[in-house]
Amino acid sequence: MPGLYVHVPFCLQKCAYCAFYSVPLADVHGVGTVKDYFEGLAAEIRLRQQDTPFGVSSLFIGGGTPTVLAPEGLERLLKMLVSGFSGDAGLVSGLEENAIGSGGSLGWERQRAVRFEDIEATSEANPGTITPEKLRILRQYGIHRISLGAQSFSDQLLREIGRIHNAEAIREAVRLIRLGGFSNLNLDLMFGLPGQDMKTWQESIEEALRLGPEHLSLYALSLEAGTPLAKRYPLGQGKTSSRMPHLPDDDEQADMYEWAVECLVRAGYIHYEVSNFALPGKECRHNLEIWRGRDYLGLGPGAVSTLGGVRWRNLENVAVYGQCLRNGELPLTEVEHLSERERMTERLMLGLRLSEGVSLEGFKQEFGQDLRDIYKDVLETYLQQKLLSIEENHLRLNPQYIFTANAILQAFG
Ligand code: SF4
């Protein structure tokens, strides 16, 4: 069964470094755009149900900022998802008739209670957009994991990258999330920010640890073409004019990363993927399975899907997305039929991001060939240089080189 990703393409405002598809609310004209989104999504769910005949194995609602939706919007979204992906395998509790008291007056109202159960169901959220009511709705429909975009605990750095929140808003968000009954929380943090040094980075990590998240994701800032931050730093990282806050270069980023890895591992987190750390048993199963090669269906404008060797991306325009789907057409922009060789390479590149590595046996079962034969030359070089190792029948990246993994992995392409 594939995992399900749902993209909510709205944010309060655009962050200075962001290249994801999302529309700042100031650019959402009237209710038209939100209407386009919901109408499009309802039609896309209908058209895509055939792709998930047995339901879905995980749900991840991302964005954008899902919690920027009003409570009614959030509830509408969740209702659509639970009724659209109930499947036959009982992964969702099913459409049970539940008697819910209508205030003790004239009998009972019959109401359908549906929620995601037994699968990992995550929603992204951002500080400053969370309310007790929205959290109650998320819980009501079975969302039990929140991924919070904290990014930094320095108010100055948060301002520098155009976030809407400050450190106090993160603490308040975590307080509300815990009060709302969520016992599985991820915090996203970024390093290599303009003006960030080792000390402010360490303070952010320590502050995050004090909040006791079950999971942490650490991302290095990268300058994405066309973003305000890339325009502010045309010379790139490490080459800052004296009037601008210093933008850490690759070496400084690597030092920050290494310090954080040591600190989090000492605090009991398992470093299970290049950027991801979890308390035992709290790994993000949705992403973990994708890195292991499981299919996923993406819904919403800009979402990517990979199913049965075919990859496609939806159009990054919410109005056109809605219009296409209202006309009964899928809003596809790129469709790629992956060759077997491409699928093998991708399996390696994703699997090597994981500390568990790539199972030689699993690879052989899936593709009928030994990866040591297919990638003989690259492997010989990298095994000799000790960038990679084979232990317990798994091919693994040497943890020492994990921060530079991307450059190493490209050699398999
Ligand atoms: S909140 Fe996230 S998706 Fe929205 S603009 Fe900022 S980085 Fe991009």
In order of their start, the domains of the chain are: 3-291 (3.80.30.20), 341-413 (1.10.10.920)
Which residue type sits at 276? Answer: N
Query: Which atom of ligand 1 is nearest the CA belonging to 63?
Result: 3
pLDDT at residue 401, rounded to an integer: 84
| 310-328 b/e (C-beta count within 10 Å ≥ 16 → b) | ebbbbbbbbbbbbbbbeee
13 lines ligand 1 (CB under 6 A): no
User: How far, in Å, from the CA of 104 to the mean position of ligand 1?
Assistant: 44
**40: Cβ below 6 Å to ligand 1?**
no
pLDDT digits (tens, 9 = 90+) for 229-240: 999 998 888 766
Tokens of 274: 């290049």
pLDDT computed for residue 97 by the predictor = 31
Contact 173, 130 (CB under 8 A): yes
| Rounded distance from Cα 15 to ligand 1 centre (Å) | 6
Protein residue with least CA distance to atom 5, ligand 1: 14
Tens of pLDDT, residues 155-201: 999 999 999 999 999 999 999 999 999 999 999 999 999 999 999 99
In a mutational test of the pocket of ligand 1, which residue from 7, 12, 18 has the highest number of ligand atoms less than 8 Å from its CB? 18
Tokens of 285: 């199963």
Q: Are 113 and 83 in contact (CB under 8 A)?
A: no
What token pair was written down for 209?
Answer: 């640890």
User: According to the model, what pLDDT value does residue 371 have?
Assistant: 95
User: Which helix (DSSP H) or strand (DSSP E) does residue 192 occupy?
Assistant: none
Per-residue tokens: 246: 């210093």
pLDDT at 100: 25
The pTM of the full predicted model, rounded to 2 decimals, is: 0.91
Q: Residues in the chain with pLDDT < 70? A: 29-32, 86-114, 239-242
**What is the CA(372)–ligand 1 centre distance, in A?**
41
- Report the residue among 8, 13, 15 best suited for mutation to probe ligand 1: largest number of ligand atoms under 8 A from its CB: 15
Q: 378 C-alpha to center of ligand 1: Å?
A: 38
